[in-house]
A and B are shown apart, each in its own frame.
Chain A
Amino acid sequence: MKRFVRVSAVVLFVFFLCALPALAEKEEKPIKIGVLAVLTGAFAELGQDSVDGVKLAFEEYGYKIAGRPVKLYIEDTAATPNVAVDKCRALVNRDGCQIILGPLSGAEGLAVKKSADEWPNATIIVSASAAEDVCRRGIKPNVWRTSFCGDQPMFPLGIWAYEHGYRKVITIGEDYAFPYAHVGGFLKAFCEKGGCVAAKYWVPIGTSDYASIITELPKDADCIYLTLSGSDVISFLTQMDKFGMMGKYEIFGGATAIDAGTLTTMGEVVEGIVSGSIWTGEIDSESFRSLDKRYGALRGRPIGLFAGLYYRSAMVAAIALEKIGGKVEDQAAFRKALGSIDYQGPVSRITFDEFQQAKMDVFINEVKFVNGEWRNVIIETYPQVSQFWTYDPVEFQKQPSYSRNFPNCPCK
């Protein structure tokens, strides 16, 4: 008997030992989330903001979702499409990430979408890339977008500009996919209302001297629509100011041009500029104030578009993960959970359309001096804007992709 007890005790102990790793694994196997952002070069600041946004979101969960720890893998894509694809491949194949947040810039998003079939066991939540066709003209089951489509926030701005009496616009944008869509959305709405284009300027990224454009602007136009980013927009506005041209035209800004960073640098020069965005600097919501405060403690300025966009994508991922009890290995369930998401974020409610593109509120912002800081203040809200605005999706996708020359409506 004694021997039996001893043997069974040993057997039980051995069983227990065998089960230990399995138990421990079940407890601690992390959810691996890859972050693709631009951390070097001209967009470095945006990338840093993006990573901040992701971290701010997961801090709210204490880096633990449904009992499983969250592990972040951050990669720099250098704003280059093929690098973005390589880094995405490394995150999925080498690190075993099941969810990818990113990439950041326009062409990167398209490149990752094109290669998305390589990674059926990972879901890519495009966080900031606003290139047109990420969720149009053919979709991938594992590519979702919480960020806006390039034209999405610009339809309302085009209409707003027309309704406030502006008829002849000059557009100035950088010469690549994102500004094509951004300018395109504005013009599609503006032209259909009856406005016209006095001149279009496309400049390479990193253009430093705008004097020749500023001195050449058509005098009969009444507004300028601006889609420049980073140092380009700062150079342009500084030189506009030095030429004494700031009051001559009403300036309308795209989402990236008149963002929090631009306001911090330019200050009073940009006072009163109206822009369209899916982000803002002032909104009556508790979650926005606390997010803005936490970001402010980190960087000492108001939270901007890119931190907001990545925060949003991380929150959407976290909510979908909670819904499926953290079982990220079941990608089908995860995607289904994404599809049914109805998330009230700091500035906007987020739902997905059938093309896996988020619907979101669009704001018309005006730059104002609030409590010692320059901030974008909402002057009008267009709730739950779809990527197709009010158009029929099927008809819409038949139109050509946005380019330098489409859409266009030159003034007679």
Chain B
Amino acid sequence: MNQILIQFMNGITYAGLLFMIASGFTLIFGVMRVINMSHGAFYILGAYMAYTIQKQTGNWLYGIIIGSITVGITAYIVRLLVSRVKGDLPQTVLTLGISMMIADLCLYIWGGLPRTVGEPMFTSTPIPFAGLTYPAFRFFVLALALVVGGTMWYMLQRTQLGRILRAGTDNRSMTSALGINIDRIFTLVFILTGFITGLSGAVGGTYIAFGPGSDFSILTYALVVVIMGGMGSIAGSALGALIVGLVDSFGRAYVHEVAIFLLMGTLIIVLAFRPRGLLGREE
């Protein structure tokens, strides 16, 4: 029983991180119909920045903040480039190119050794949980994901910006015909996404090592979560992250040889019954 409880905890704390990674990805897709292939590169850029700042100042919080802001700015630049290109597919390919450039720059600046961001002091004492000392940092990640998710939910459901965003997701041309500057909204979404992804990179990089190649494994996880939950739906990402986290955790513990198969198998079953993902809507 204890063992199952622990694996459940492993699953939902991992899901917290996955949700933070996937939420930005799904937001961009929902509003702009762009599959942002540089999402994984955003993640490692945030992680690398946090690593450097943490190392220089010894303060984890500074690392997290600078990491998030750097990626926010990078996302703004990417948005400027993307807006010069017309059409969903060329935009997607452009982001793929940008992803490779960022990854190569990271390799050039930080070298290829895998790294982790130094842990903050406030989570250095493990918490007893189900007969085990459980790392406090994982609880912190879960709490942070809840805060990020809650804020996003509030923003989307309760604010004017959220109404515009939802309207834009439903019908882009109609929304701009109503006199709303949709370009400005797009830019805002990109910056916000960059910020959240940079944050998840900095936080994730604290307990998951990152290096060259991590960008693509992160992108893969983001894609699985988002496709399972439904492209463009924040609640879908949360649900998708929860399923992926739990399947991954239990799979790895009890049938580790086929853990990936199990994960993709779940995805295929979901898509067989709900081709647009669990909470995806018909066009």
Q: Residues of A with Cβ closer than 8 Å to B?
A: 40-46, 48, 175, 201-204, 206-213, 215-216, 230-232, 234-235, 238-239, 242-244, 261, 264-265, 404
Cβ contacts A to B, 20 pairs, < 8 Å: A41-B213, A42-B214, A44-B107, A45-B113, A48-B111, A202-B256, A206-B214, A207-B252, A208-B217, A209-B14, A212-B7, A213-B256, A216-B254, A231-B210, A234-B114, A235-B116, A238-B116, A239-B135, A265-B115, A265-B209
Which of B67-75, B126-134, B151-159, B235-243 makes up part of the contact surface? B126-134
Seed contacts A45-B212, A209-B248, A243-B134; 9 additional CB < 8 Å A-B pairs = A42-B212, A45-B111, A45-B113, A209-B249, A212-B250, A230-B114, A242-B119, A265-B115, A265-B116
Interface string of B188-225 (1 = CB under 8 A from A): 00000000000000000001111111100100000000
B5-51: which residues lie under 8 A (CB-CB) from chain A?
A: 6-7, 10-11, 13-14
Tell me how far the C-beta of A210 lies from the nearest C-beta in chain B, rounded to whole angstroms.
8
Establish whether residues B7 and A244, one from each chain, have CB atoms under 8 Å apart when the complex forms: no
Contacts of B137 in A (CB 8 A): 242
In angstroms, Cα B77 to Cα A264, docked, is 34
Q: Closest residue to B103 on the A side, CB-wise?
A: A40
- B180 contacts the other chain (Cβ, under 8 Å)? no
Q: Closest residue to B208 on the A side, CB-wise?
A: A208
Closest 5 CB pairs of A and B: A45-B112, A42-B213, A234-B209, A231-B114, A242-B135
Establish whether residues A215 and B126, one from each chain, have CB atoms under 8 Å apart when the complex forms: no
Query: Known interface pairs A202-B256, A208-B208, A235-B209. Does A48 touch B116 (Cβ–Cβ under 8 Å)?
Result: no
Contacts of B249 in A (CB 8 A): 209, 211-212
Q: Closest residue to A214 on the B side, CB-wise?
A: B10
Q: Which of A211, A230, A238, A404 contacts B257 (CB 8 A)?
A: A404
- What is the size, in residues, of chain B's interface with A at 8 Å between Cβ atoms? 41
Contacts of A213 in B (CB 8 A): 252-253, 256
Tell me how far the C-beta of B97 lies from the nearest C-beta in chain A, rounded to whole angstroms.
15
Establish whether residues B14 and A231, one from each chain, have CB atoms under 8 Å apart when the complex forms: no
Contacts of A261 in B (CB 8 A): 113-114
**Most chain A CB atoms below 10 A, which of B6, B138, B208, B214:** B208
In angstroms, Cα B207 to Cα A210, docked, is 10
Contacts of B260 in A (CB 8 A): 204
Tell me how far the C-beta of A227 lies from the nearest C-beta in chain B, rounded to whole angstroms.
15
Contacts of A175 in B (CB 8 A): 257
Q: Closest residue to B112 on the A side, CB-wise?
A: A45
- B3 contacts the other chain (Cβ, under 8 Å)? yes
Contacts of A210 in B (CB 8 A): 252
Establish whether residues A211 and B14, one from each chain, have CB atoms under 8 Å apart when the complex forms: yes
In angstroms, Cα B111 to Cα A203, docked, is 25
Establish whether residues A244 and B126, one from each chain, have CB atoms under 8 Å apart when the complex forms: yes
Q: Closest residue to A202 on the B side, CB-wise?
A: B257
Establish whether residues B116 and A201, one from each chain, have CB atoms under 8 Å apart when the complex forms: no
Establish whether residues B113 and A242, one from each chain, have CB atoms under 8 Å apart when the complex forms: no
Contacts of B134 in A (CB 8 A): 243
Contacts of B14 in A (CB 8 A): 209, 211
Q: Closest residue to B126 on the A side, CB-wise?
A: A244
Query: Known interface pairs A212-B252, A239-B207. Does A234 touch B7 (Cβ–Cβ under 8 Å)?
Result: no
Establish whether residues B116 and A215, one from each chain, have CB atoms under 8 Å apart when the complex forms: no
Contacts of A201 in B (CB 8 A): 256
Establish whether residues A216 and B135, one from each chain, have CB atoms under 8 Å apart when the complex forms: no
Query: Known interface pairs A206-B217, A261-B113. Does A242 touch B207 (Cβ–Cβ under 8 Å)?
Result: yes
In angstroms, Cα B114 to Cα A180, docked, is 23
In angstroms, Cα B115 to Cα A235, docked, is 9
Establish whether residues B256 and A203, one from each chain, have CB atoms under 8 Å apart when the complex forms: yes
Contacts of A215 in B (CB 8 A): 3, 6-7, 10, 132, 253
Contacts of A203 in B (CB 8 A): 252, 256, 259
Contacts of B253 in A (CB 8 A): 212-213, 215-216
Q: Closest residue to B100 on the A side, CB-wise?
A: A40
Tell me how far the C-beta of A338 lies from the nearest C-beta in chain B, rounded to whole angstroms.
31
Q: Which of A48, A204, A243, A244 contacts B112 (CB 8 A)?
A: A48
Contacts of A41 in B (CB 8 A): 212-213
In angstroms, Cα B141 to Cα A13, docked, is 84
In angstroms, Cα B207 to Cα A211, docked, is 10
Contacts of B6 in A (CB 8 A): 215
